[in-house]
Amino acid sequence: MIDTHCHLEMCEDGAADGHGLRRIATVGIDDDAIERALAFAEAHEEVFAIVGRHPNSATGFAESDLAPIRRAAAHSRAVAIGETGLDYYRDHAPREDQQRAFEAQIALARELAKPVVIHTRAAEDDTLATLAEHAEGVAVVMHCFSMPDRLDECVERAYMCSFAGNVTYPKATDLQEAAARVPDELLLVETDAPFLAPQPVRGKPNAPANVAHTARRVAELRGVSYEELEQLVERNAARLFGW
């Protein structure tokens, strides 16, 4: 199995070692985290980096802030731009700064022909409107998919829908229905470690290896074997990230 989205620099020591995972994508959400993501990718054959500026770290975002992301994206182990988007739940950064950072990173993804990985929380309308206006022709990943009521819209636009540990929670029935309905070619799974530990280890710090719990639950929801789900996700990620 693979983990298509985690934050190794925030995980416990050793999170990138082994675990039987063939690929791990670790995400740098600011300049310091980008450097650490690239260091993990250089040190571990199975690790690749996603590089960008998280909306919660977008305060004062200017054109010059795009330069370190562009430099990092040129690294041979960098496979996508992000996570970027809009977060109105935390509001750690002014919304106009988040929007400016979001549009700039979509443009960079287009320029570099790389996928863009999206974070959205309590901002679904503005996120989808921005993508509709600026991301035509760019491969889009809806990280930690959280808008089951907008699933059809995401599918129509061919956005990849990546499910994290919260799809395993007993009360997440709408998310589970979405995971069952996503077309094969648009499905991914992730941990978002160290956050959102799946139900069997809920309440503990998450780790990339726990993606197996999420994948097993998604396989059940889709009525396929774990092995079939594993092959599908690995094939989708390879096509998307080119690793």
User: Which positions ≥6 away from 233 have C-beta within 8 Å?
Assistant: 1, 2, 4, 187, 188, 189, 215
Q: What's the pLDDT tens digit per position in 4-58?
A: 999 999 998 766 665 679 999 999 999 999 999 999 999 999 999 999 999 999 9
Amino acid 12: pLDDT: 84
Q: Which residues of 164-180 are buried (b: 16+ CB within 10 A; e: fewer)?
A: bbbbbeeebeebbebbe
Supply the pLDDT for residue 91. Answer: 78
| Cα distance between residue 57 and residue 242, in whole Å | 28
Model pTM score? 0.96
Tell whether the torsion through CA atoms of 8, 9, 14 and 17 is positive or negative: positive
What tens digit of pLDDT does each residue of 64-79 get? 999 999 999 999 999 9
Q: What is the per-residue pLDDT for 234? A: 98
Q: How far apart are CA 101 and CA 110, in angstroms?
A: 14
The Cβ of residue 17 has, within 10 Å, a number of other Cβ atoms equal to 11
90 confidence band (pLDDT: 50, 70, 90): confident
Question: How do residues 140-176 score in pLDDT, each as one tens digit?
Answer: 999 999 999 999 999 999 999 999 999 999 999 999 9
Per the document, the length of the chain is 243
Inter-residue contact 88 to 104 (CB < 8 Å):
no
Rounded distance between C-alpha atoms, residue 95 and residue 80, angstroms: 23
Amino acid at 133: E
Q: What is the structure's pLDDT at 225?
A: 98
What class is the 2-241 domain?
alpha beta
Q: Which residues of 122-158 are buried (b: 16+ CB within 10 A; e: fewer)?
A: ebbebbbebbeebbeebbbbbbbbbbbebbeebbeee
Q: Give the pLDDT of residue 19.
A: 63
Task: Report pLDDT for 69.
Answer: 98
Q: Please give the pLDDT value at position 20.
A: 75
The pLDDT assigned to 15 comes to 65
**What are the pLDDT digits (tens) for 112-135?**
999 999 999 999 999 999 999 999
Give the domain ranges of the chain.
2-241
Question: pLDDT exceeding 90 applies to what percent of the chain?
Answer: 95
DSSP string, 2-69: EEEEE-GGGSPTTTTS-TT-SEEEEEE-SHHHHHHHHHHHHH-TTEEEEE---GGG-TT--GGGHHHH
